[in-house]
């Protein structure tokens, strides 16, 4: 058995957790050139429909690595979401690598070709050989619509392949969302207070023991000269979360600290 956070050991009657892995593909994230913003966006979006991101990987544009990581994580999670590497240039090798991971051929997909052909006719751009690369889709995959810049993503098995540019990734995520089947939805409550973690840690640990079905995270914050701790409770049962939040408010008040609802302003 696992508890609401997938931790082993605790008994729980909660609905099944549906889990996901996010794979960020791109040399530019590992070199530090680009600071990723897709992971937090995807995680928040999926959580709303009952899919929990339990792992993320950042990997380079290297075929062998993409193949082995995709095959590892698609076996371990209900869903896998990738970002990056599906543009028209030589360094965009995600689609070919995913085909290899699934052991299927890859070719220009008729529907993707039609979408791009119409797009370049409309915009007056040339539908170059390079741009046709963006229509290369592994056999058996279904397209993911991209209303913004047209070149589609695709789904094969439980793997969803999206663009790396955040605004394109976001419209693709909207397009694919109806295909997902969520499980338990993790709810959360946040209570903050101007108190050091070390001061409340002991009583907080005792409280956590009495709420095995609620995962309590403690996060120090610094806002200029103001500092304190945000306590985030996550779990599938809103009633239990409210109970835990009430106890945390009382805990803070016991230390003479005024509880702040949510994150500090």
Residues 127-146 that bind a copy of itself (CB under 8 A): 128-131, 133-134
Smallest gap from Cβ 102 to a copy of itself, in A, equals: 21
Task: Verify binding: residue 243, a copy of itself, rule CB under 8 A.
Answer: no
Q: Which is nearer to a copy of itself, 10 or 139 (CB)?
A: 10
Q: Does 115 engage in binding with a copy of itself (CB under 8 A)? A: no
Reduced to 3 states (helix: H, G, I; strand: E, B; else coil), residue 29 is helix
Residue 232 in the binding site for a copy of itself (CB under 8 A) = yes
> Under the criterion CB under 8 A, does residue 7 sit at the interface with a copy of itself?
yes
If binding is defined by CB under 8 A, does position 171 make contact with a copy of itself?
Answer: no
- Among 102, 46, 48, which Cα is nearest to 74's? 102
Total residues contacting a copy of itself (rule CB under 8 A)? 72
Sign of CA dihedral 57, 60, 65, 70: positive
For the bound state, the minimum distance from the C-beta of residue 245 to a copy of itself, rounded and expressed in Å, comes to: 16
Strands 260-261 and 159-162, sheet pairing: unpaired
Q: Which stretch binds a copy of itself (CB under 8 A): 106-114, 137-145, 218-226, 252-260?
A: 218-226
- Specify the residue, 142 or 260, whose C-beta has the smaller distance to a copy of itself: 260
Binds a copy of itself by CB under 8 A, chosen from 80, 86, 87, 141: 87
> In whole angstroms, how close is the CB of 234 to a copy of itself at the nearest point?
7
Distance, CA of 179 to CA of 259 (rounded, Å): 40
Among 215, 236, 244, 252, binds a copy of itself (CB under 8 A): 215
| Closest-CA residue to 170 (of 19, 40, 29, 27) | 40
- Residue 185 burial (C-beta neighbours within 10 Å; 0-12, 13-18, 19+): middle
Q: Looking at 144, 186, 187, 244, which residue binds a copy of itself (CB under 8 A)? A: 186
Cα 224 to Cα 265: distance, rounded to the nearest angstrom? 12
Residues 30-59 that bind a copy of itself (CB under 8 A): 30-37, 39-44, 47, 52-59
The closest alpha carbon to 200, from 262, 261, 252, 263, belongs to 252
Q: Which residue has the tokens 């403690």?
A: 218
| Among 14, 49, 60, 150, contact with a copy of itself (rule: CB under 8 A) | 60
Question: 147-166: which residues touch a copy of itself (CB under 8 A)?
Answer: 165
Closer CB to a copy of itself, residue 65 or residue 142? 65
Within 8 A by CB and 6+ apart from 113, the residues are: 132, 135
Total Cβ atoms within 10 A of residue 104: 14
């Amino acid at each position: 058995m696992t508890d609401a956070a997938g931790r082993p050991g605790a008994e729980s009657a909660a609905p099944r957790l549906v889990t996901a892995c996010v794979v960020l593909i791109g040399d530019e994230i590992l070199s530090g050139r680009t600071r990723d913003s897709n992971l937090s966006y995807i995680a928040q979006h999926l959580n709303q429909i009952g899919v929990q991101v339990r792992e993320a990987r950042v990997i380079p544009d290297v075929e062998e690595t993409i193949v082995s990581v995709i095959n590892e994580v698609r076996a371990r999670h209900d869903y896998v979401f990738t970002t990056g590497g599906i543009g028209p240039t030589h360094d965009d090798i995600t689609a070919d690598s995913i085909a290899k991971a699934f052991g299927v051929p890859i070719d220009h997909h008729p529907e993707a070709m039609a979408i791009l052909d119409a797009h370049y006719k409309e915009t007056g751009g040339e539908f170059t050989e390079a741009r046709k690369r963006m229509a290369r889709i592994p056999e058996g995959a279904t397209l993911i619509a991209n209303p913004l810049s047209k070149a589609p993503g695709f789904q094969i098995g439980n793997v969803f392949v999206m663009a790396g540019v955040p605004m394109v990734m976001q419209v693709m995520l909207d397009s694919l969302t109806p295909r997902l089947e969520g499980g338990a939805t993790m709810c959360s409550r946040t209570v903050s207070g101007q108190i050091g973690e070390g001061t409340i840690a002991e009583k907080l640990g005792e409280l956590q023991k009495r709420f095995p079905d609620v995962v309590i995270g403690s996060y120090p914050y610094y806002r200029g000269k103001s500092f304190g701790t945000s306590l985030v409770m996550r779990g599938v049962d809103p009633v239990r979360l409210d109970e835990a939040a009430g106890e945390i408010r009382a805990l803070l008040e016991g230390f003479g600290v005024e509880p702040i609802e949510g994150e500090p302003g």
